[in-house]
């Protein structure tokens, strides 16, 4: 997506994926030379990105994680485009007024979701996790956004129909329960985009539920991320089409 945006904007920039060991992000950033403009940060580094930054945006601080590091004049600034990107993706799908939001998983992405859905009228969030004890950081972040939070074990049955179900867990975890999960919610958002399409997304579409994919989030947050890095905006469909083409090509490779 970033490469497609650079071509659209006429920029002679490069963008590459780099694997960094957990807890190794700070040392890796210190080795970068001044030609670097920024980093798109993925799990498991989103919370660590806050610790190494010289300056942190209000959104990133509130969400407890950053997916964007901006580098300029020796200063590292952390920002979060997952929060506004999530809101934009849900609004694009016509999803609004979601008082009860059920989230599978409790990582940094779940925290970003919490801060996004308050913009859609969310009042209560259920965090559904395998280990209840490990959800406190995300639960605290969601409460700071003004949400009532309940943490439930993934073994517990669903009692209420949620206005929105958000899955932040891997395909294997959500896909096996896709039909059950879809029946438990009025709308579905699966942040996973690889493999494409996910079983949860397909089940939601088959049940005629409003559905948002991880590809939608990826494109919307990237529009904002690119604007921070380049100072220019591109249309979301340019990025979404580029990502879909790459995923489709990868799927067709034997």
Residues involved in catalysis: 46
Sign (positive or negative) of CA dihedral 119, 125, 130, 134: positive
- % helix, strand, coil for the chain, step of 5: 45, 15, 35
Inter-CA distances, 44 with 11, 99, 190, 240, Å? 30, 29, 18, 24
Query: Of 216, 242, 234, which is closest to residue 8 (Cα–Cα)?
Result: 234
Question: What is the helix (H) or strand (E) element at residue 244, kind and residue range?
Answer: helix 236-252
- Residue 146 near residue 118, CB atoms below 8 Å: yes
Distance in angstroms (rounded) separating the CA atoms of residues 124 and 107? 18
At a CB cut-off of 8 Å and minimum separation 6, what does 172 contact?
A: none
Instruction: Answer yes or no: are the C-beta atoms of 135 and 224 closer than 8 Å.
Output: no
DSSP 196: S
């Amino acid at each position: 997506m970033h490469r497609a945006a650079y071509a659209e904007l006429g920029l002679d920039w490069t963008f590459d994926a780099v694997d960094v060991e957990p807890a190794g992000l700070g040392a890796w950033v210190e080795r970068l030379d001044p030609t670097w403009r920024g980093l798109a940060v993925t799990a498991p580094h989103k919370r660590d990105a806050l610790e190494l930054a010289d300056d942190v945006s209000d959104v990133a601080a509130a969400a407890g994680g950053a997916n964007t590091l901006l580098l300029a004049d020796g200063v590292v600034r952390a920002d979060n485009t997952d929060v506004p990107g999530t809101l934009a993706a849900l609004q694009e799908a016509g999803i609004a007024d979601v008082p009860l939001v059920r989230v599978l998983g409790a990582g940094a992405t779940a925290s970003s979701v919490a801060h996004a859905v308050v913009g859609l009228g969310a009042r209560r969030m259920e965090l559904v996790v395998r280990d209840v004890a490990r959800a406190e950081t995300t639960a605290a972040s969601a409460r700071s956004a003004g949400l009532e939070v309940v943490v439930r074990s993934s073994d517990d049955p669903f009692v209420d129909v949620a206005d929105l179900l958000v899955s932040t867990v891997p395909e294997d975890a959500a896909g096996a329960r896709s039909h059950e999960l879809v029946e438990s919610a009025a709308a579905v958002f699966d942040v996973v985009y690889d493999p494409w399409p996910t079983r949860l997304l397909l089940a939601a579409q088959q049940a005629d539920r409003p559905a948002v994919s991880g590809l939608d989030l990826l494109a919307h947050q990237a529009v904002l991320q690119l604007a921070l890095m380049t100072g220019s905006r591109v249309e979301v469909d340019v990025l979404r089409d580029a990502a879909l083409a790459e995923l489709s090509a990868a799927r067709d490779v034997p």
